[in-house]
Each structure stands twice: as structure tokens, then as C-alpha cells.
Structure 1
């Protein structure tokens, strides 16, 4: 599997907007890629990455390049296009994001997911992300991975 993370740029942003989840997943990933691209223009600490398999964009990710007031770096979004799910791209992409954040001296990585997104929950848990609370935060289960 030849996976890479590439900056979203004027060369690939439109292809990224074509990425989408399956119709039945709209409730667990309701925000389209174009929204994240737009928001990043007003949130300078948002970093956008396209997930590529070879030369084909297969997914999209957003993370914060700066820590929040508690010292946490957040992965705001991770999605794999409907046609490429179940092939290991999500796992590979999140591992690459974790390594990028480690190089940025991140101490803790936070990620959230909707309660009914059991696939994401199992993936994040298998990578060492632990629930920080049994209560939902903004409608999501929030998980933390300690890098120190």
C-alpha cells in the first residue's frame, strides 16, 4: 500500500471536494470536505491533508498545528472516500498524522467521533486512544493518545 499525506493546495483541492462517505454514514460524518477547506481559511492553525494512494486521493484529514490551552493537539476530521473504505487507508492515515504531530512535539493527541460511529471508535481504541469521559462532549466521544 503506497499511502501518503499531501497538503491540500490549488492543485488538488477540487478533487478533495469530491471525496465523500457512504450515504448511511452522513450522520457520523455530516460535514463535507468543502466546509473544512473553507473553515481553514479562517482558522490558520487548521492543517489540511489529502490522503493519497499512489496518485489517487482516497481520503481527507484536518488537524491543528497548535496545541489548545491544555496542551492538546486535535485531529478534527478524518474520512476515507466511500469507494476506498475497509482497505486500511484510515489506519495508515491516522498513524501518519500521529507521526506528524509527534514531530511537532505534541504531547497528547485528541480525536472525537459520533457515538454511532463504532468503526472509528474501534480503530482509535486499537491505536491507543482512550476515552477521556463517559459523557459526550459536543455530541461526540472524545479520545486521547498520550505521546510522552
Structure 2
């Protein structure tokens, strides 16, 4: 059992070949039906996924990655640079397939993301729906609650740059 955890987590950028990538993203979504139930959404179709990836590819500030450990896609990560403001990054979705949750993959994906965000000062995370597991995850990763962004959206934030002490 311990052997699986030693496999390294690979983040592969999306947007190079959407026709090939969309089915892999769809596979992750199909392996995460609880998430879509939780946010009150139908499981996206392959066409929905392709459309979303096309939209994403047209926004130069957005980045998306498939998470791999071996040949199978286990997760999906989507964020936007310089949003809501210059120097901020916002994590829109970090989704780990249900059969791989609880293995520290989300933590490792977040660590990869943070390492790659050179020059950004803050990382926001958006939690949709009533999702106590996601809230607990982000709080455990050093985020703090900021505000509600509507009836079913909560915003969390954590600083990225080394903290300079600012007396009040």
C-alpha cells in the first residue's frame, strides 16, 4: 500500500491540445460526482468540458492543469493570475478524483501551485456550495476566510510573499 504514495505528482498544463485533453478532464469530473452534487450542478458533458477549456484558452490570465500520478489523471487545477487585483492569483478549482481523496494529493498540488506563483503576493481560493471539506482543507493550508461572494461562494486567502511586519 505504501508504494503508491512515492509516485510523484505531475501537473500537466492544458491548452496544448484541447481535443485530447477534454476527455481526460471529463474523466476526472466523472470520478468526482459528489462535487457536482454538492455545488448543485449536473455532471458536465464532454462538450461542456471542451467549451470550458476553449474559453479558458482564450484568457491569457487563466491556467489549468491535469494532475497525474502515473498514466491516470487524478485531478484538475484551475487558477487565474492578477485576479481579483494585480499581484493576486485565484484558485478557481482544485479537484481530486473521489477514489484518490485523502492521500495528500490536494496538498501536494497546492504546494506545486504556490511554488510556481513567483511574483504573486496573495493566493485566493474560492469555495462553491456548502463544502465543509474544502473549507477545512484551505484553513489547514494556511488560508483564512475573507468574505462571501454570493449565497454559495466563500473566498479564502493566504499571503505568498515573505511577510513583512507592519506595525499598526
Fold similarity call, TM over 0.5? yes
Structure 1 residue 15 corresponds to structure 2 residue 16: no
1:32-85 CA distance string (max 9 Å, x none): 481541320332211010111123210001111334335321111111122222
Q: CA RMSD in A?
A: 2.2
Between Structure 1 and Structure 2, the one with more helix by share is 2
Unaligned stretches of 5+ residues in structure 1: none
Matches of 2:75 and 2:141 in 1, distance apart? 19
Q: Which runs of 4+ in 1 moved over 4 A?
A: none
Q: 1: CA distance between counterparts of 2:121 and 2:38?
A: 27
Give ranges in structure 2 of 5+ residues lacking alignment. Answer: 162-168
Is residue 9–residue 105 contact of structure 2 (8 Å, CA) maintained in 1? yes
Q: Aligned residue for 1:4?
A: 10
- Distance in structure 1 (CA, Å) of the matches to 2:73 and 2:28: 8
**Is the Cα contact below 8 Å between 2:9 and 2:67 reproduced in 1?**
yes
Greater C-alpha Rg:
2
Residue 80 of structure 1: aligned partner: 96
8 Å contact from structure 1 (residues 73, 110) kept in 2: yes
State yes or no: 1:119 paired with 2:133.
Answer: yes
Q: Aligned with 2:137: secondary structure?
A: helix
CA distance in 2, matches of 1:67, 1:22: 27
Larger deviation, residues 115-124 vs 9-18? 9-18
Question: Which of 135, 141, 146 is matched with 1:132 structurally?
Answer: 146
Question: Using the alignment, how far apart are the partners of 2:67 and 2:128 within structure 1?
Answer: 21
